[in-house]
Amino acid sequence: MITSRSRRDFLKVFTASAVGALFLSLYSCKNTGKKASESDALVDPGTFGIGLQLYTIRDAMAEDVPGSLKKVSDTGYKYLELADYTDRKFYGYEPPEFKKMVNDLGMEIISSHTQVEGVGVTLDNARIMAEDHATLGVKYCLQPWIVEEMRTSIASYQKMAENWNQIGAVMKEFGLQFGYHNHNFEFDTVDGKVPYFDVFLTELDKDLVTMEMDMFWVIKAGRDPVEIIKKYPGRFQLFHMKDMYTNEEPFFTTVDVKDFAPVGEGVIDFKRILEVKDIAGMKYMIVEQDLSRDGTPFADIRKSVINLTTKILV
């Protein structure tokens, strides 16, 4: 996700292993032996079990929640990941009401990015969040961001890891899996160490805190998702499918980053990454695009579905 103060304000705290069994041949020869057209290919893309992070269409969701969700469903997304939880409501709706709205459209809420606090999520707040998310019926409750003042030392990262293990235990009591969504700054060197490897993947309890790997940010940090997955098998239950238009030298800031592309329109080799999905322990893949270059997020999420179901997942 894009990381800015406005984002912090906005965030208020498929089965991919089975996707292979659901893949349809989108290049059917039928009686003509010809390659299927785009319209033929998109016969029930919902069978592919693709998720969408609703931050991608945050402006539309702020204006019209039911209408925006209908467009997402019509585009072919099966699962949703949320990015608006505040005052114990989701996008302004009580948990049962929002859950019904989504389910009536044939979709399922699989995960939620939750409130970010500068000193860490307190255990009391974690219990409230866990209760609300359990009512919503999600599987994952995720920490999506680290405020800048908590990135200043390895000690602060270690404090977060300790805190997240405790939160993960609370979530587990409610049948939820806690997790963390990365950016690129966790791969920078702090006090001679790399927080993502030397703290998170070392000190986080793998049974209490899973990792949601954001491909865009991993690669912008100059790292290879495949190498990380092979070194830390079973740690990445969620993939953020996020593409980029250009390869760049590694950098570790999220400020003014605009190189976001629909999945399959950029330079990331998702087929190569998905070859190790079972090693990763991946269960769900979720499309996210922080910004639309053309200001057309719904057109972009459709491009992502088309590319996933005709080029990448086949």
CATH of the domain at 149: 3.20.20.150
Give domain status of residue 9, yes or no: yes
> In Å, how far are 232, 244, 268, 278 from 227, measured between CA atoms?
9, 19, 15, 14
Give domain status of residue 21, yes or no: no
CB atoms within 10 A of CB 18: 10
User: Judging by beta carbons within 10 Å of its beta carbon (0-12, 13-18, 19+), is residue 40 exposed, middle or buried?
Assistant: middle
Distance, CA of 192 to CA of 160 (rounded, Å): 18
Reference 86, options 53, 125, 51; nearest CA is: 125
Domain that holds residue 111: 5-13+51-68+80-294
Give domain status of residue 46, yes or no: no
Reference 191, options 240, 242, 247, 153; nearest CA is: 153
Contact 285, 241 (CB under 8 A): yes
On the CB side of 121, CA atoms within 13 Å amount to 30
Give domain status of residue 29, yes or no: no
Reference 146, options 274, 3, 50; nearest CA is: 3
Task: Count how many domains the chain has.
Answer: 1
pLDDT tens column, 145-187: 999 999 999 999 999 999 999 999 999 999 999 999 999 999 9
pLDDT tens column, 16-28: 333 333 333 333 3
Give domain status of residue 135, yes or no: yes
pLDDT tens column, 188-240: 999 999 999 999 999 999 999 999 999 999 999 999 999 999 999 999 999 99
Give domain status of residue 300, yes or no: no
Confidence of residue 36 (pLDDT cuts 50, 70, 90): very low
Give domain status of residue 205, yes or no: yes
- Note the residue count of the chain: 314
Give domain status of residue 310, yes or no: no
pTM of this structure: 0.87
